[in-house]
A and B are shown apart, each in its own frame.
Chain A
Amino acid sequence: MANKKGNNGGRTQQQINDSKDYSTFKVVFFYCSLIVFLPVATFFLLKSTVLERFFTMSEVTTNIYSAVGAVVALHLALGLYIYRAYFGGALQTSDTYKKVD
C-alpha cells in the first residue's frame, strides 16, 4: 500500500517535472526560432517593401538598410530572450527551491 502510494507520488512528481521541462522547452524553442527567423524575414521583407515604396533608391542602399534592419531586429530578439532568461529563470529557481523544501 505504502509502496503504491509512493509510486503514485513518484509518478505525479515525474509528471510535474515533465510539464515543467516541456514549458521550458516551449519558451526556449520560441525564442530560438524568433532569433533565427526574425532577421531573415526582416531582411527580405524590408528589402521588398523599401524597394516598392522608395523606388528611387539604388539597390546597394536598399540592401544596406535591410541588412541593418535585420541586425537590429536580431539584437532586439536576443535582448528579449536575455531579459526573459534573467527574470523568468529567477522565478523558476525560487519555485524549485520551494518545492524541495
Chain B
Amino acid sequence: MSDAQSDNPIYGPFFGVMGAASAIIFSALGAAYGTAKSGTGIAAMSVMRPELIMKSIIPVVMAGIIAIYGLVVAVLIAGALEDPTTYTLYKGFIHLGAGLSVGFSGLAAGFAIGIVGDAGVRGTAQQPRLFVGMILILIFAEVLGLYGLIVAIYLYTK
C-alpha cells in the first residue's frame, strides 16, 4: 500500500496536466506573436500592392500551423491522463517534458515567423523575386516547431 502510494502520488497527474496546458499555451503565444507581427507587415504592404494579398497571407498561415502542433500534443497528453491511482509520477514527468518541448519550440518558431514574415512581406512588395527566399526562410523557421513536435511525440511513446 505504502509502495503503491509512493509510486502513484496524488500529485502525479499535476505534471501531466501542466504538460498539456503548457503545450497549447506557449504554442498559441508563439502563433499569436507571429500572426500579429506579420499581420502588421501585410497591412502596411497591402496599401500599395493589394494584388499580393494571397502571397502575403503565407506567414500568417504558417504561424497558425504552430498552434496546431501544440493542439495535437495537448490532445495526445490529455487523452493519456488518468486517475492518480493508475498514473505514475514517471508518466507525469514524461508528459510535462513533451508539453514543454513542443510549447517552447513553438514559441521560438512563432517569434521567428513573425519577424521574418513582417520584413519579408514588406520586401516582397518592392522586389517580387524575394518571395522564394521568404518562403524558404519561413519553412526553416517552421521546422523549428516541427522538431519540438517530433521530440514531444517521441517522449510521449516512452
Q: A residues engaging B (CB < 8 A)?
A: 21, 24, 27-28, 31-32, 35-36, 39-40, 43, 59-60, 63-64, 67-68, 70-71, 74, 78, 81-82, 84-86, 88-89, 92-93, 96
Contact = CB atoms under 8 A, between A and B. Distances in A.
A92 B72 contact: no
Interface string B48-72: 0011111101100110110011011
Contacts of B64: 32, 35-36
A24 B128 CA distance: 19
Interface in B61-103: 61-62, 64-65, 68-69, 71-73, 75-76, 79-80
A89 B52 CA distance: 7
Nearest to A75: B65
Contact of B68 (A21, A39, A63, A85): A39
Contact of A82 (B50, B53, B80, B135): B135
B156 A64 contact: yes
B153 interface: yes
B: contact size bracket: 20 to 34
B53 A43 contact: no
A67 B153 contact: yes
A92 B51 contact: yes
Interface of B: 50-55, 57-58, 61-62, 64-65, 68-69, 71-73, 75-76, 79-80, 128, 131, 135, 146, 149, 153, 156-157
26 contacts: A21-B50, A24-B53, A28-B53, A32-B57, A35-B61, A36-B64, A43-B72, A60-B156, A63-B76, A63-B80, A64-B156, A64-B157, A71-B72, A71-B149, A78-B62, A78-B65, A81-B61, A85-B54, A85-B57, A86-B135, A88-B54, A89-B55, A92-B54, A93-B52, A93-B128, A96-B51
